[in-house]
């Protein structure tokens, strides 16, 4: 069906109103009507229910332009919490956020590494428990758990087509297993999409509602927000710029294609090149790779070591990062050309470390070669929460999803093509 799906008011009025209250801080009912376009009667009904459910508080009155002062509304921040988990080969990041998306607790633990998925899930459940107990939040107030990991993802089947090191995760029912282990409802989504949502809620994005978050962790991807909604594509895997082709004659990538961004410029490529330069490898403190003594540091940890060497003035390290940045910049330009973007945010754990090298290179590429540069510039910003944006986005997805009545067909991949309100992700299907 075309067009009007977006205009359906009842399915999303609750979440729309809540999102406006969140973004505004405090706002009156009249302000809500103006911001959402809903009638006063609709606003009145929705707000009454939000107050009854304890999600929104009345909080004093604002001066009115004539007439009686207007009652101001704000989120009841401590009424709900959500857990966000970012699972990556190199590390697992946990956050607990309140209803406003503010982080009230966070922790980082070892990544999935080479452990078996059920072992990792068991550990994650214990770590989530420790996170919740550490902060002393009543469990009944925890809405659920958002779990984000590298795509492609499929509901009730977990990851599909993983990088080689995570192959044992293919077709493992990650969401369902973690749901059983924690007793919390679990939403599964792509890490880069979650990063975009995390930036939207807590990052450097400000009021810009259409932007891309270019994500670099162990892999490379992007999350897309269009008009404040996450754009997820047909299966929740939109934004896969790690596997767009930058060189038709380039080396073969693990994904089956040739000359992908990730194989040319990803952290693993940088680390491999650094390791091949014996002097640089020693200067950066990389292990020799020979002898194969475990535990071998993660790709992200070794990338961080190269980035530190570059910062310490090691020219070979600097040259490697700049070459990676030039390739990433071309992929970023592809994304900007396809989406006609005005804003691009660099985020993710690897850019948390090396972003200051990448930022000027990406910005220069946009200024020089973005196709519509005669119409408008593309601004590139470095995230201020690059390491935790995916986990924050994961928690946000849960908060939003609890607040939106479960929509028809949400469980069917075929219906995921729509731009969904930020983070309405794949919900673990117990029955299915």
Candidates 65, 140, 375, 408; binder of a second copy (CB under 8 A) is: 375
Which residue, 29 or 243, is less far from a second copy as judged by CB? 243
Which residue, 177 or 341, is less far from a second copy as judged by CB? 341
Look at the block and give the residue holding tokens 């009841």: 76
Alpha helices per DSSP H over 59-213: 117-135, 174-182, 191-202
Which residue, 140 or 227, is less far from a second copy as judged by CB? 227
Stretch that binds a second copy, among 288-296, 298-306, 309-317, 324-332 (CB under 8 A): 324-332
Look at the block and give the residue holding tokens 């956050």: 95
Is residue 371 a contact point for a second copy (CB under 8 A)?
yes
Dist. CA 231–CA 229, nearest whole Å: 6
Candidates 29, 80, 176, 327; binder of a second copy (CB under 8 A) is: 327
Q: How far apart, in Å, do the first and last CA atoms of the chain sit?
A: 26
Dist. CA 126–CA 109, nearest whole Å: 12
- Distance in Å, CB of 164 to a second copy, minimum: 15
Whether omega for the bond prior to residue 152 falls within 30 degrees of 0, making it cis, is: yes
Which residue, 38 or 81, is less far from a second copy as judged by CB? 38
- Distance in Å, CB of 154 to a second copy, minimum: 5
Could you tell me the two tokens for 4? 């009007």
In sequence order, what are the residues at sequence separation of 6 or more whose Cβ sits closer than 8 angstroms to the Cβ of residue 52? none
Instruction: Kindly identify the residues of this chain, within the stretch 129-168, that bind a second copy according to CB under 8 A.
Output: 151-154, 160-161
Instruction: Kindly identify the residues of this chain, within the stretch 340-369, that bind a second copy according to CB under 8 A.
Output: 340-342, 368-369
- Distance in Å, CB of 132 to a second copy, minimum: 29
Dist. CA 393–CA 8, nearest whole Å: 25
Whether omega for the bond prior to residue 295 falls within 30 degrees of 0, making it cis, is: yes
Instruction: Kindly identify the residues of this chain, within the stretch 73-102, that bind a second copy according to CB under 8 A.
Output: none
Which residue, 53 or 340, is less far from a second copy as judged by CB? 340
Is residue 412 a contact point for a second copy (CB under 8 A)?
no
Could you tell me the two tokens for 29? 């009912």
Rg (CA), the chain: 22
Is residue 187 a contact point for a second copy (CB under 8 A)?
no
Which residue, 131 or 192, is less far from a second copy as judged by CB? 192
Closest CA to 360 of 325, 334, 394: 325
Which residue, 302 or 365, is less far from a second copy as judged by CB? 365
Cα 154–Cα 132–Cα 115 angle in degrees, nearest 5: 50
CA distances from 124 to 78, 191, 280, 339 (A): 24, 17, 36, 36
Taking residues 203 to 242 in sequence order and writing x for each that binds a second copy by CB under 8 A, - otherwise, the string is ----x-xx-----------x---xxxx-xxxxxxxxxxx-
Which residue, 151 or 348, is less far from a second copy as judged by CB? 151
- Distance in Å, CB of 97 to a second copy, minimum: 17
Instruction: Kindly identify the residues of this chain, within the stretch 23-62, that bind a second copy according to CB under 8 A.
Output: 23, 35-38
């Amino acid at each position: 069906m075309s067009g009007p799906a977006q205009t359906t008011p009842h399915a999303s009025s609750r979440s729309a109103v809540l999102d406006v209250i969140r973004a505004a801080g405090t706002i009156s009912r009249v302000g809500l009507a103006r911001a959402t376009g809903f009638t006063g009667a609709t606003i009145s009904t929705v707000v009454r229910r939000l107050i009854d459910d304890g999600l929104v508080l009345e909080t004093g009155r604002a001066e009115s332009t004539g007439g009686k002062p207007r009652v101001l509304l704000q989120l009841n921040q401590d009424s709900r919490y959500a857990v966000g988990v970012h699972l990556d080969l190199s590390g697992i990041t946990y956050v607990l956020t309140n209803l406003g998306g503010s982080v009230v607790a966070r922790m980082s633990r070892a990544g999935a590494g080479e452990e078996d998925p059920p072992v990792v899930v068991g550990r994650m459940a214990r770590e989530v428990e420790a996170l919740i107990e550490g902060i002393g939040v009543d469990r009944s107030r925890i809405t659920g758990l958002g779990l984000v990991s590298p795509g492609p993802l499929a509901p009730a089947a977990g990851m599909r087509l993983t990088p080689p090191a995570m192959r044992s995760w293919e077709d493992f029912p990650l969401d369902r297993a973690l749901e059983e282990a924690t007793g919390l409802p679990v939403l599964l989504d792509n890490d880069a999409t979650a990063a975009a949502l995390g930036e939207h809620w807590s990052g450097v994005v400000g009021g810009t509602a259409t932007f891309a978050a270019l994500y670099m962790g162990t892999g490379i991807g992007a999350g897309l927000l269009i008009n404040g909604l996450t754009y997820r594509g047909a299966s929740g895997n939109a934004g896969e710029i790690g596997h767009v082709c930058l060189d038709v004659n380039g080396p073969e990538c693990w994904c089956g294609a040739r000359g992908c961004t990730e194989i040319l410029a990803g952290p693993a490529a940088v680390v491999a090149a650094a390791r091949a330069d014996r002097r640089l490898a020693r200067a950066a403190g990389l292990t020799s790779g020979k002898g194969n003594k475990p535990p071998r540091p993660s790709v992200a940890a070794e990338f961080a070591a190269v980035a530190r060497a570059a910062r310490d003035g090691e020219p070979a390290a600097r040259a490697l990062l700049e070459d990676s940045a030039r390739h990433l910049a071309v992929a970023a330009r592809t994304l900007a050309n396809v989406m006609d973007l005005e804003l691009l945010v660099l985020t993710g754990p690897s850019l948390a470390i090396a972003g200051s090298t990448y930022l000027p290179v990406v910005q220069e590429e946009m200024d020089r070669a973005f196709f519509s540069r005669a119409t408008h510039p593309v601004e590139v910003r470095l995230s201020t929460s690059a390491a935790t944006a995916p986990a924050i986005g994961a928690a946000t997805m849960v908060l939003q999803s609890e607040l939106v009545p479960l929509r028809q067909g949400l469980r069917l991949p075929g219906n995921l093509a729509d731009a969904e309100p930020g983070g309405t992700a794949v919900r673990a299907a117990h029955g299915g």
